[in-house]
Every structure is written in structure tokens, then in C-alpha cells.
Structure 1
Amino acid sequence: MPNESLLWLLHSVHALSVSKSDWIGGHSYYSYLEEAGSYWFNAMVPNGILMNNTIINEKTQEFLDYVLDNQDSTGWLGPEVGTDRPRYLWGRYPFFFGAIQMVEYKPELTDRVVTALHKFVKLANRMLRDGEGVEDWAATRWEDFVIVLQW
């Protein structure tokens, strides 16, 4: 099946780069927007589920677990935790899209994901009121955050 070949290619990309992503404790860094890991996660969740691919489903679960386990006390999620790098909201939106899909597939994740989302929303609200966390790209993608909030 062509989709299985694509799925394997995406898994290989994970093995080469995403597995070293700073989203999950590695040192691979794509851009200051911190979107590579969250884009991969958002894309692979439905692929793993629809193809019933155990390896991909395990990798996306590991990704989710790592990010949630490393949420800091302020509510921030992502690779900037424990660093002095600037924090931009944008890269979190694709992460939450993937997390939402995982909750829809595995409802037992609801409490954990919703709790993390609520902590993040409180922080994001403060950041936005203080004029923080938004750069030009995120300013054009505000609707993505609205979709997360509506969920």
C-alpha cells in the first residue's frame, strides 16, 4: 500500500531527526518557532491510528508523554522548558492538535491532556496580555489557537 510506504518514510524521518528533537529532550533544532516536533506529532497521530501502526502509535504516545511530563510550573510546554530561549506560542498549536486527536482516539488521556491545556492557557493568557509569545508568523495563525480553545 502506498500509504504504508509513506508511513515508513515518515517513521524513518523520525528516526533521523524527530527522535533527536528538542521537543523530546534531544538537541535537534529546526527554527526559533519550534514547530518541527509538533508538526511531526500532529501529522503522525492520525497516520498511526488510521494505519493501525503499532510503532507509530508508540512513538506518538512517547512524544505526548514526554511533553506532558516536562510541562513546567508556569504551564509552558515544549523545548524551551529549562532554557533561556524566547518562548513563542505558535509551536504549541500543532502539538495540541495532535494531543486532541489522541484524546479522541484514547479517551483515557482526557484528564491528563485537558489539565495540561488548562495550565498552558492560563500562561498564554498572561503572555498575550503582556505582549509576549507572538511574532509575525504566530500573529497570522491565531485561529489555530482558537480551534484548540474551542475544543
Structure 2
Amino acid sequence: AYWNDFNKNGYVSDKINIHTYNDNTQESVYKDFLSKANTIEKPNITPPSNPTDPTNPSNPDVVLGSDDVISKEDLNQWLDEIFAGNYWVDIKDLDKIHGLNESIIQSISFLEALYGQEGMKDILEKFHNDYKTAYSKYEEFKNNKAELLAFINEKLKPLV
């Protein structure tokens, strides 16, 4: 494994050390972290030698591959989990929604980032409008089909 449970094993130098906190220790540890945040050095990242390397986030020509695109099933699962959840806001901290697990938080962040992409709002609104138009035509077709079948079964069959 690439990670180490710091609470059980202490610090291990060649692992990602995961340290969990409970409700009693979380606030004091967070305040301690904030007091030391300015002492953390920024990483010195050397850009890749190949300017078309897709790992270079500053490259404007980076294109999503098929593995990067979310599926309809993933999106529906995320939305089902979000809508089925039991979430609340504490009156002392109105900026934070409580009751969200980490995967839901990441899903919401992804959806917010996706919606915030330039042009994405227009694309999603056009998709929504196209869907509404197509759905109303489907409903009309379904009703016409039902009326046709009723006519055949109730009027034509007795005549034949």
C-alpha cells in the first residue's frame, strides 16, 4: 500500500501518512495547522520538456480522453446519492453543509467545476431545452400510439 495509518504505526517515511481526527481533536489540530500554514514551502515544479504533454495543465490544447468523461450511470448515481441524503446546515456555520461524505463532496465539487467551465452553462441549457422538446414529442407520439391501438382494438377489430 502507498499509505500508512499514522494513528496505528506512527510516521513512515516512504508512505503517505494518513492521520485521522475525532470530533474532540479536530478543531485544535486544524487551528495548529493554520498557524503553521505559512511555513509550508510551495513546490518547485518544472514544466514537462514536451509542450504538448497532456499532464501540463497550462497547455491550452489538452483534450479529455474517453477515460476522462463521466458516464450517465456515474452522474445518475451521484445525483441519486445527493438527493437521497440527509443533510443539514448548522446555524453557527451556514457556509458548511453537514452529513456529506467525501465522495459526495467531490461529486458536488466536480459538478460545480464542470458547470463553471466557459461555455458549459450554454451547452447544458441547450441540452436541457433539446431534451424538453424531444420529451414532449415522445409524449405526443406515445399518446398517438395509444389512441391508434385503442381505435384498432375497439373500432376496427369488431368490424373485421
Answer 1 or 2: higher relative contact order, Cα 8 Å, separation at least 6: 1
TM-score, shorter chain, exceeding 0.5: no
- In which range does the TM-score fall when normalised by the shorter chain? under 0.3
Higher strand share: 2
Which is greater in Rg? 2
